[in-house]
Amino acid sequence: MIVAQRRHKIKEMLLQEKSVKVADLVREFDVSEETIRRDLNQLEREGLVQKNYGGAILIDEYLMQASPVPPVQQRKFEYYEEKDAIGRKAAELVQDDQIIIVDSGSTTWCVARHLKQRSRLTVVTNGINIAEEFVENEQTEIFLLGGKVVKQSMSLVGPVAEEELKKYNADYVFMGTSGISLRKGFMSSDIYEAEIKRAMVAAGQKVAVVADHTKLHRQALIAYSTFQDVDILITSSLADPDVLSEIGKLGVQVVVCDV
């Protein structure tokens, strides 16, 4: 089992059990105590756990959310290291003073985390959690789209938001996706969110989709964009190279970051 997968499993255990013990994790994953302590050190740096003697506990913020955990909150910690690396790579595309549109989602949240230190950005988003990240930078102008709140994804959808997007001309649009189909393109699991995504794609000079490796083998309800409308796919070295090669042949620039 690779490091990212093991840490993902540990996060799942934490969300379910609220605490873990080093000795139990050593037996579960058949690795050394030193390896598990490195895993827990990383989770502590991410702000997910507080280490204690012999293990770690979920911090209070997530103890309150863990049962039940809103899907977007839980997805923040699924394949976190991979999504964080993708977010860092995506943020490298953006320069100070640019206009960007950021879709709601967990991987786009990682993009926002790495962009929030840029100077004088203008950010348009339908993601409540995305807007919260950028609020920390006083130089960033933030436009939160109006509409109906989808609580599970912390996003705003509907005709008001779609109409508002027609006003914008962004340097970059950063999109999430529920799945990627070589036949149909980039997918969404919600028909209303798919409409917002289409409006976002139309509002960008450059469109970049950010996706962890699992999205290359996942189908969803409805396509929101063809490959012809997307300029860049940013994913990780965990992604299937054969699928990435096929996507590249369809005219999309594929950027792969190390995990």
Residue-wise pLDDT tens digits, 183-193: 889 999 887 88
In a domain, 112, yes or no: yes
Are residues 9 and 89 located together in one domain of the fold?
A: no
Query: Residue 169: is it exposed, middle or buried by C-beta count within 10 angstroms (0-12/13-18/19+)?
Result: exposed
Are residues 57 and 88 located together in one domain of the fold?
A: no
Are residues 42 and 88 located together in one domain of the fold?
A: no
Are residues 97 and 154 located together in one domain of the fold?
A: yes
Are residues 33 and 90 located together in one domain of the fold?
A: no
In a domain, 143, yes or no: yes
Are residues 155 and 123 located together in one domain of the fold?
A: yes
Last residue of a domain, one of 14, 35, 67: 67
Question: How far, CA to CA in Å, does 73 sit from each of 16, 61, 122, 243?
Answer: 14, 11, 25, 29
- In this prediction, residue 259 carries a pLDDT of 86
Are residues 17 and 101 located together in one domain of the fold?
A: no
Are residues 168 and 222 located together in one domain of the fold?
A: yes
- In this prediction, residue 154 carries a pLDDT of 86
Last residue of a domain, one of 67, 91, 115: 67
Residue-wise pLDDT tens digits, 130-189: 999 999 899 999 999 998 888 878 899 988 898 899 999 999 999 999 999 998 899 998
- The whole-chain average pLDDT of the chain stands at 88
* 8-state DSSP, 193: H
Domain tally, the chain: 2
For residues 241 and 245, what is the distance between their CA atoms, to the nearest angstrom? Answer: 6
Are residues 147 and 191 located together in one domain of the fold?
A: yes
Q: Provide the pairing of β-strand 222-225 with 185-188.
A: antiparallel
In a domain, 31, yes or no: yes
DSSP strands (E only) in 92-239: 99-102, 122-125, 141-144, 148-150, 155-157, 170-175, 179-181, 185-188, 204-210, 222-225, 232-236
Q: First and final CA of the chain: distance in angstroms? A: 14
Are residues 135 and 235 located together in one domain of the fold?
A: yes
CATH number at residue 218: 3.40.50.1360
Cis peptide, bond prior to residue 241, ω within 30 of zero? no
In a domain, 144, yes or no: yes
Q: Is the Cβ–Cβ distance between 114 and 87 less than 8 Å? A: yes
What residues make up the domain containing 253?
A: 80-257
- In this prediction, residue 7 carries a pLDDT of 82
Are residues 39 and 122 located together in one domain of the fold?
A: no
- In this prediction, residue 187 carries a pLDDT of 92
In a domain, 73, yes or no: no
In a domain, 72, yes or no: no
CATH number at residue 13: 1.10.10.10
Are residues 16 and 88 located together in one domain of the fold?
A: no
With a cut of 70, list the residues of the chain below it in pLDDT. 1, 4, 46-47, 60-77
Query: Residue 45: is it exposed, middle or buried by C-beta count within 10 angstroms (0-12/13-18/19+)?
Result: exposed
For residues 103 and 22, what is the distance between their CA atoms, to the nearest angstrom? Answer: 38
